[in-house]
Amino acid sequence: MGGGRSLSPAESEHLCAALRELLARYGTQKAVAARLSVTQQSISMVLGKESRGSYSLARAVARVLGRHVDVVLGAPTATTLLAAYWRDLDGWDDAVAEARRMFPRVSDAAWEWLGSLSGPELPGLPAGALAMIAGAYDQAEHAPASEELKRPARSGVQKKGAK
């Protein structure tokens, strides 16, 4: 069953769940093994916790299930990643209060927009990073007219021959 890196215990648990799903679909370990182009013994060893399985087995399972291998190994899906609004995360109010003290000119609309985003919990809810995102929102909302955007930015570097 070689071929590829070994799986972590958590990845192995997810692989077992996917194998049980295939077992329910195809009926026997032998039928599952045939679909995956591995031996029945390989399936039995993973399901019996005698082996963690391999990345190549996980790829084969992913192919048959029509999923990405990372999902088979337990990576969160878009549905689980987009579960909570940021404003509902623990510590959000404190982080925003600190960020507002640091950046008092950021608009209320920017903070409201930022809180309406959703996704995985932010590590530590860093106030400075939140303020920078909210500030970028403000800048995008109050961007100059299209004619002003066409003007080149001043860089302080002059072209050859320019005075």
Mean pLDDT of the region 50-73: 90
What local confidence, expressed as pLDDT, does residue 79 receive?
54
Using a pLDDT cut of 70, give the percent of the chain over it: 75
The residue among 121 and 36 whose pLDDT is bigger is 36
For residue 45, is it within any domain?
yes
Q: For the whole prediction, is pTM greater than 0.75?
A: no
- Measured in whole angstroms, how far is the alpha carbon of residue 1 from the centre of its chain? 29
- Give the dihedral of Cα atoms 149, 150, 153, 159; nearest 10 deg: 180
Is residue 38 located within the same domain as residue 60? Answer: yes
Is residue 67 located within the same domain as residue 108? Answer: no
Separation CA 96–CA 80 (nearest Å)? 24
Q: Is the pLDDT at 97 greater than 90, yes or no? A: yes
For residue 131, is it within any domain?
yes
**CATH number of the CATH domain containing 71:** 1.10.260.40
